[in-house]
A and B are shown apart, each in its own frame.
Chain A
Amino acid sequence: MTGSDSTKALLEVENLKVTFSTRRGLVEAVRGVSLSLAPGEMLGLVGESGSGKSVTGFAVTHLLDKAGRITDGRIRFKGQDITRAGGADLRSLHGAAMSMIFQNPRAALNPIRTVGQQIADAILAHRRLSRQEALAEALQLLKAVQIRDPERRMSAYPHELSGGMCQRVMIAIAISCSPQLLIADEPTTGLDVTTQKVVMDLLAHIAAERGMATILITHDLGLAARYCARVVVMEQGRLVEEAAPLTLFHRPQHPYTKRLVAASPTATSRIEDLVPDGDGIPLVEVTELPPPPHGTPLLLDVKNIVKRFDDGTIGVADFSMTMRGGESVGLVGESGSGKSTTSRMICRLIDASEGEILFDGQAIGQIPARDFHRSELRKDIQIVFQDPNDSLNPRYTAFDCIAHPLFRLMNMRSGDKMRRRVEECAERVGLPRELLSRFPHQLSGGQKARVGIARAIACKPRLLVLDEPTAALDVSVQAVVLQLLNKLRREDNLAFLFVSHDLNVVRMMCDRTIVLRTGAIVEQGESRALFANPQTDYTRELVDAVPHIAPPVALQACPV
């Protein structure tokens, strides 16, 4: 790969090693990565958290944390060795020759400076212009990144813009001095699928138009497949495979790539396929429960609920749905569509302004949310939260976390009975018993997610509300957690209300799906049918925006 075309390559990385000094000693984050990038090429750098993909990107641009150090290897940019570049050299490289786009665009912008000024700052860092000229050019850049009403946005602060808008501003800053290399570090993580598509299309368009070489760092195989000509897979600081996306996804060579490809939900994947060797949790023989006898009351009957916020805006307008015991229903929509608000009203964490919620025939909508914890039904409706880090009390051990609802809702005092129940729950979610005495910060993301699920099922609920339960997890961990949830649902005849922005996940997990937009139901129906043949433009847009891997048929047509 390297060497032969060294005259043409824009960027060459040879045997790069990066070490971080941490409290527990030196940690090697990147262990010998070599790659090269031709001018104008778009390269995908794919891996899970801890794979060293972002560290590689930061090492190339010399933006590593103080704790990180390049210990070995060589970075050549346009034939020039920049491995040990510093001070003035770096300042002239940054922005002018290579620039970066970051994850979490809103945090990446200065909160107390208008976006126009920030773009002008970037321009003035490398060019001799007056402030006025720089601002005029900033306006042109805002137009180039297709921001609506750019004149007015010039004086906007980042908090006044949406996440997608902030990322466009970030792109404008990054391309302001026409660099030849752009490194995009998870540029669309945390954005809606539709916004993700718009931002990525824009990025690809700008890169092609300006002949900018781009490295797209992402955990999303589908995204890399859609936009990159070449994809590199990293695992634990090493490069494991490099190929054209279609080859990579349909004929993966390395076992890690195979696992990663399998774990990525696609339009056709099934829960069972996500973990091929079943190395996550032992798959238990699942016996389908017989359908409930006729005349069983609905488990959940939501009638015309409305949520009006204090400032008068309407979060949810006239939402109705029903659920039977053991059924799983997906709630999808973009951020701001009211899906989380709806789920929180149903699990009685916030009050509905109007409407009625019947659970198992009993009206629960009238019980104020702050008093619902005293209700008999609290233990029947439990919640799995989005962020496994923030939803666990950092001062509670895993055992305490799982035991807490038993103590509060089942009135179990500490003792053998409680210990047995906690251990049973931990076992069911595949959490080893020796981890129960650990605190959340001593657990991995997947283990924390398991604690959250064990806590939710501890009181044997009948309805589980899952608010983006896997959004913060790596795909391979997500695959295991999804399988686990599916198993629990079948074993206990649990009903799921599954809130997610990931349509592929909802399609696998849910019998029925409800599509929300600005607080109102756009479309609903049986999941597979709904996604295969959407009836409304909005749903079609959502489905189309999901980056997917083309079927293997296209493989022959694609030049490798």
Chain B
Amino acid sequence: MNTIGATLLRAGRRFVSSLPALFGVLVFTFLLMRVLPGDPAVFFASGPNAGKEEIEVIRRQLGLDKPLPNQLVIYLADVGRGNLGRSMMTGQAVAKDLRERLPASLELTLTALLIALVSAVPLGVIAALRPGSLVDHGVRLFCSLGVCVPTFVSGLLLIYVFYYLLGFAPDPTGRIDIFTTMPPQRTSFLIIDFLLAGDFEGWSAAARQLMLPAFTMALFVIAPLARITRASMLVSLGSDFVRTARSVGLSWWRIVVTYALRNAILPVITIAGIVFSTMLGANVLVEKVFSWPGVASYALDALLVSDYAPVQGFVLLMATIFVIVNLLVDLLYGIADPRATVA
């Protein structure tokens, strides 16, 4: 009870101390967008022949004629009220756009992370148990390939093999094919919504759609997770307490899992948190290749046409998620390591 309280207190303190950083991100992105070349008023004018007057009118409508500090104050006030602005591209409120697209990204990223963890941790453990062996080198080769091949290449390869050659995978466009009836929205995670609705046909369609992009992403992050698992397993296996466990004749399974792995998993949690945050933002390539309607491709589209509000909204969202993920990692750490609450 006491430890849980201490962990929560620590997490709360971390959260408060990350607020200034969030504010900094907000201001920085705002300024960065203004510095980048490209004038949104020109982009969104009716056509290439639009007159000066028309552009001037749009500029006034957007509030871009005001001095920069004024714009910043107005923006901050809006964000404070929960208004992230309106996207010129979609014509919708940015908050609404993000809310619609975030679940798609989260679903993809979480599945990919799960796949990565489930394969990377055993791979790392096997490699650590036989360092220098053929298995170890095999794992190393697999990991290197995963990192060396860019995601859009491995994504295209997977599509070529599983969709074009073998025909296992469905048409790699979007979260679900357009003829499937959508389940009632509850969590916005399609595979969960289908399950809740009891529509197993729809569920398997959504899951099949999800597999290729998720594996593409997982391939890229298996390497860091497997390497850190291997490294910290090696430390764990060489530690004094594993020797103690051997000296009293514990079973192999108990030594490797309860004694070594449970101690080795702590750095893996940290890396998993970082990897997750990175994946969420950096998976734009995967989203593009598989036409996945996620937040990252949305932000990229907006950036290309100098649509300020969505980019700023996206960066703020990412920063917030990063803070939340770090908090979660902290909480997990507190549960996994009794020493963490002391510090």
Contact = CB atoms under 8 A, between A and B. Distances in A.
Interface of A: 61, 63, 90-96, 99-100, 102, 104, 107-113, 121-122, 125-126, 157, 159, 170, 173-174, 176-177
B249 interface: yes
**Interface of chain B, main secondary structure:** helix
B4 to A, nearest CB: 15
Contact of A95 (B248, B262, B337): B248
- Which of A100, A108, A112, A125 has the most chain B CB within a 10 Å cutoff? A112
B62 interface: no
B241 to A, nearest CB: 4
Contact of A125 (B249, B263, B339, B342): B249
Given A63-B243, A102-B243, A157-B339, A110 B249 contact: no
Interface in B317-343: 336-339, 342
Task: Please provide the 10 A-B residue pairs with the shortest distance between their CB atoms, ordered closest to farther.
Answer: A94-B249, A95-B248, A95-B249, A107-B240, A122-B248, A110-B241, A108-B240, A100-B247, A91-B249, A157-B338
Interface string B256-293: 00110011000000000000000000000000000000
Given A112-B262, A112-B263, A107 B241 contact: yes
A518 to B, nearest CB: 22
A170 B240 CA distance: 12
B158 interface: no
Interface residues of B, number: 22
B247 A63 contact: yes
A117 to B, nearest CB: 9
Contact of B247 (A92, A95, A107, A157): A95
B13 interface: no
A488 B248 CA distance: 49
Nearest to B248: A95
A126 B262 CA distance: 22
A111 B240 contact: no
- Which of B241, B259, B262, B336 has the most chain A CB within a 10 Å cutoff? B241
Given A110-B259, A157-B338, A94 B244 contact: no
B186 interface: no
A115 B17 CA distance: 36
25 contacts: A94-B246, A94-B248, A95-B247, A95-B248, A99-B247, A102-B243, A102-B244, A108-B241, A108-B244, A110-B241, A110-B244, A111-B337, A111-B338, A112-B337, A112-B339, A113-B258, A121-B245, A121-B254, A125-B249, A125-B250, A125-B254, A157-B339, A159-B338, A170-B244, A173-B244
A93 B241 CA distance: 18
A112 B239 CA distance: 13
B342 A159 contact: yes
Interface in B153-191: none
Contacts of B244: 100, 102, 108-110, 170, 173
B337 A91 contact: no
